[in-house]
Homo-oligomer: A and B are copies of this chain.
Amino acid sequence: MLGCGVVGSQVARLLREQADELAARIGAPLELVGVAVRRPNRHPDVPVVEVIGGIEPVRTLLLDALRGGKSVVSANKALLAEDGATLHDAAAAAHVDLYYEAAVAGAIPLLRPLRESLAGDRITRVTGIVNGTTNFILSRMDATGSGFDEALAEATALGYAEADPTADIDGFDAASKAAILGGLAFHTRVTAGDVYREGIGDVTAADIASAKAMGCTIKLLAICERASGAVSARVYPAMLPRSHPLAAVGDAFNAVFVEADAAGSLMFYGRGAGGAPSASAVLGDVVAVARNRRNGSRGTGESAYAALPILPMGDVATRYHVALDVADRPGVLAGVAGAFAEQQVSIQTVRQEGRGDAATLVIVTHSAADAALAKTVDRLTGMDFIRGVASVMRVEGMPGE
């Protein structure tokens, strides 16, 4: 085992405590022959020592293991999202297994269902809440009306956010997971760099209030979609109707909503992080690898035959919610509607809130190319009767489109 931190120590504990049960399930005992840790003096009782962390030297270590005929179980989402292809190729060449259930949504059995249970179906869309830190923050903002900074401070105090929360807040963690999900769901290869990404740092209490006014909540969503013969993979905060099953996923929980041609809508829900939940996923993979080995076989390998191109974000069909502080005088609505029409964006609803200096126009569009929506917002900000853009947010999961 490489590493013995929050997850590794739990894996070691489960291996010890459930030794008899695991042996019965596999038909042979599991033995942990060594643990490699970065700071050996922190683990005086552990015999094997090695240095690991980040992308390298882990990649090299795992490639050496795979090429040496060892199956690998990993929870390293960053590495798998950046260069999973190299690892998969090495595993296939050596006829060994490469499993990484813990890399996405912790304990939730998700990758195996995607690559095995749904292998006879055609997945059309995967929408996930896959980062617990940001879900905790957005849930708090929704529950208390507090601003982002306040909710982040609370998350930090409670241990839900790390000292440097950039990877979570800016969506890098969710983007890695989106890359892994998109690849598995659509039988293609997606890297973290292919994923369009916006974090939650700019979500305001006003955005949350706007969302509430239309029966929505705001969630950081990782979305993978098959469209126009390509794959779209993207991460951003979006408004989601409260009636959507993902809307009720609160605190630091994760959930992934899968839409498939035949299966319809499915949702997988559970703890996305933490030592014990991640260890459960790691051990599930270890048992699978061990069973395969007993069987003289290997499990389902990578299935990336589709080799789909990545759809640029500008071409992705999305819907926008736009709240504009406007001058309350005749012709304003016509001017606003004209700006949308100019970009061929169709408006679903317009609602004026307040009068006079407090007049706000709230627009929800039908779905249109993201680039056209972005251009429309740019155009609106320059118009003289628009006093300000109060809120711009994508809308996902609305029925009737």
Contact = CB atoms under 8 A, between A and B. Distances in A.
A16 interface: no
A360 interface: no
Contact of A117 (B109, B292, B305): B109
Interface size class of A (residues with CB under 8 A): 35 or more
A104 interface: no
A317 to B, nearest CB: 23
A283 B121 contact: yes
A266 interface: yes
B108 A266 contact: yes
A184 to B, nearest CB: 12
Nearest to A264: B271
A218 to B, nearest CB: 19
Contact of A263 (B118, B187, B270, B285): B270
Nearest to A13: B262
A107 interface: yes
Contacts of A282: 120
A193 to B, nearest CB: 25
Contacts of A264: 107, 270-271, 274, 276-277
A183 interface: no
A296 interface: yes
A285 B303 CA distance: 16
Contacts of A287: 116, 119-120
Contact of A296 (B22, B108, B297): B297
Interface string A233-272: 0000000000001001000000000001111111111110
Contacts of A14: 120-121, 262
A61 B22 CA distance: 34
A291 interface: yes
A398 to B, nearest CB: 19
Contacts of A119: 25, 283-284, 287-288, 291
Interface string A273-309: 0101101111111111001100111101001011000
Contacts of A270: 263-267
A24 B308 CA distance: 14
A269 B244 CA distance: 13
A121 to B, nearest CB: 4
A248 B247 CA distance: 12
Interface of A: 10, 14, 18, 21-22, 24-25, 101, 107-109, 112-113, 116-122, 187, 245, 248, 260-271, 274, 276-277, 279-288, 291-292, 295-298, 300, 303, 305-306
